[in-house]
């Protein structure tokens, strides 16, 4: 029986998932990464060598725990954190720590990009997106301006999962969904934009070839086979950026199915048969990991991270279950307490690296349960903002919404999300949806399934559904939330 391996190089860990050719989940393993470093204001960096260490460990662990041998693995799919900048010299050696998706130092370079291409409208026409500090291109320009010696030695750039691909296969390649998140890809042609590269004076040789998510991009090398336990020659497919692979892993591979993910960040994701672009590029428009599809998504930077920060700061050592139990005793609207989830700035809908988080509306009777409830609701309101962005992009209203990530494990948070979004939320059985999606793309690419639709039909199983109970209970609180960002914008020193 053939098995398919999905690898997810996330911010916190490398996860490995195995499925068989009937779509059955077989097992998973995870190996933690070192926490990102922040050597400069707004900075977020990791050492790519740590990803490869964690990849080797997770592959060996999942094979050992399931009893599957490397000979039985028929294909490998890759996914991982998007937008990260890995800079390599001619020999393929890493030149500096990778600048991650949540690195916001390149905000000034966003203006440089808009001006270089002839304005925002032209940038959106080419890429489907406005410039965001977290994208790869602004970070590349930042290194050119601030670390010219490193830039001068750079022969290739890759995304995090594509560095793992290089370690596995020796090949330079990038999937097109991930390529869209560099801000260097032409949205319609699904390949690098010569016009944009010319405008930014970037050599095309810096960029690897692009591939669809199901295309075979190389084979596991003998050296990587020795390090991981996989068989030399095992095909490795293009895969996808984490959100595109997550879309596959929850079954969002056809119009009508939306996905909501609450991990470190929060994402609202919808697929489309043609490019859909929000006015001003305020939502992200990228190719899907599925050939012939595109996707639109809104991204808030601190979703689950807001709850983690709250727990670590206000209630260190208290379990999330105990915190949310306290919040369950507080009525919708948190008795007037509001939380702005902009702890890392914000991406959509505000595109403001200087945005700040905070609690407002506090009175003496309020307690920890009110604060926790406000955090859960504030994240839900941020996701509702992004629902609106996708509608503005012309995406039809969802027929079904799939929920994954930490919020899917919390009955209270799931209910808050269902009510705030006024949508039924379906939870798939496999929690590591991005790694599952990568495994399914490997199965499609090596012929186990004829299409992504066939793969998700076999593999995606819904375990529970949360129905909205009282959407109107949040109307007043959401209206208040919507007024807070514009009222507070610009009050803080942007350099602090």
What DSSP designation does 346 have?
Answer: B
User: Would you say 210 and 217 are in contact if contact means Cβ atoms under 8 Å apart?
Assistant: no
The residues annotated as belonging to the active site are: 242
- Is 1 known to sit in a ligand binding site? no
- Assign 435 to helix, strand or coil: helix
| Contact between residue 458 and residue 436 where contact means Cβ atoms under 8 Å apart | no
Q: Are 185 and 179 in contact (CB under 8 A)?
A: yes
Sign of CA dihedral 248, 57, 45, 146: negative
Question: Phi-psi bin for 132: left (phi > 0), alpha (psi -120 to 50), beta?
Answer: beta
* Distance (Å, whole) CA 211 – CA 173: 7
How far is it, in rounded angstroms, from Cα 151 to Cα 494? 27
DSSP 8-state symbol, 436? H
Kindly state the tokens that stand for 416. 């808050």
Whether the Cβ atoms of residue 29 and residue 58 lie closer than 8 Å to each other: yes
Q: Which helix (H) or strand (E) holds 216?
A: strand 216-219
SS3 of 327, please? helix
The rounded distance, in Å, linking the Cα atoms of 357 and 371 is 13
Q: Would you say 87 is a known binding-site residue?
A: no
Binding site residues for substrate, as ranges?
82-83
Binding site residues, as ranges?
82-83
């Amino acid at each position: 029986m053939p098995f398919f391996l999905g690898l997810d190089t996330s911010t916190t860990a490398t996860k490995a998932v195995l499925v068989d050719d009937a779509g059955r989940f077989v097992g998973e393993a995870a190996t933690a990464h070192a926490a990102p470093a922040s050597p400069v204001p707004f900075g977020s960096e990791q050492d790519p060598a740590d990803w490869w260490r964690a990849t080797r460990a997770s592959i060996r662990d999942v094979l050992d725990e399931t009893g599957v041998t490397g000979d039985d693995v028929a294909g490998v799919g890759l996914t991982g954190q998007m937008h990260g900048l890995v800079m390599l010299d001619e020999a393929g050696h890493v030149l500096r720590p990778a600048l991650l998706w949540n690195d916001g130092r390149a905000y000034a370079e966003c203006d440089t990009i808009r001006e270089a291409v002839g304005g925002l409208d032209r940038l959106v026409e080419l890429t489907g997106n406005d410039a965001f500090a977290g994208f790869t291109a602004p970070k590349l320009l930042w290194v050119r301006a601030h670390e010219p010696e490193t830039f001068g030695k750079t022969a290739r750039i890759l995304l995090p999962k594509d560095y793992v691909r290089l370690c596995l296969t020796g090949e330079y390649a990038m999937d097109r969904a991930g390529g869209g998140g560099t801000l260097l890809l032409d949205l319609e042609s699904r390949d690098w934009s010569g016009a944009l590269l010319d405008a930014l004076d970037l050599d095309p040789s810096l960029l690897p070839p692009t591939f669809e998510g199901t295309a075979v991009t190389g084979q596991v090398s003998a050296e990587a086979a020795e390090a991981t336990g996989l068989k030399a020659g095992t095909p490795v497919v293009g895969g996808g950026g984490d959100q595109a692979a997550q879309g596959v892993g929850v079954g969002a591979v056809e119009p009508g199915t939306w996905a909501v993910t609450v991990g470190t960040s929060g994402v609202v994701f919808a697929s489309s048969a043609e490019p859909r672009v929000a006015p001003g590029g305020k939502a992200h428009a990228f190719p899907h990991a599925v050939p012939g599809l595109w996707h639109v998504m809104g991204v808030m930077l601190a979703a689950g991270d807001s709850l983690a920060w709250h727990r670590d700061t206000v209630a260190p050592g208290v379990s999330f279950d105990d915190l949310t139990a306290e919040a369950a005793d507080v009525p919708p609207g948190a008795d007037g307490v509001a939380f702005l989830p902009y702890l890392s700035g914000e991406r959509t809908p505000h595109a403001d690296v200087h945005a700040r988080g905070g609690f407002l509306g506090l009175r003496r009777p309020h307690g920890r349960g009110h604060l926790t409830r406000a955090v859960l609701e504030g994240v839900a309101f941020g996701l509702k903002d992004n629902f609106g962005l996708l509608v503005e992009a012309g995406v039809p209203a969802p027929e079904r919404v799939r929920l994954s990530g930490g919020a899917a494990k919390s009955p209270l948070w799931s209910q808050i999300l269902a009510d705030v979004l006024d949508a039924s939320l379906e939870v798939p059985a496999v929690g590591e949806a991005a790694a599952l999606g990568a495994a399914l793309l490997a199965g499609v690419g090596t012929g186990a399934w004829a299409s992504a639709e066939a793969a998700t039909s076999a593999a995606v199983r819904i375990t529970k559904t949360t129905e909205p109970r009282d959407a109107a209970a949040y109307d007043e609180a959401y209206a208040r939330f919507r007024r807070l960002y514009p009222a507070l914008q610009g009050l803080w020193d942007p350099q602090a």
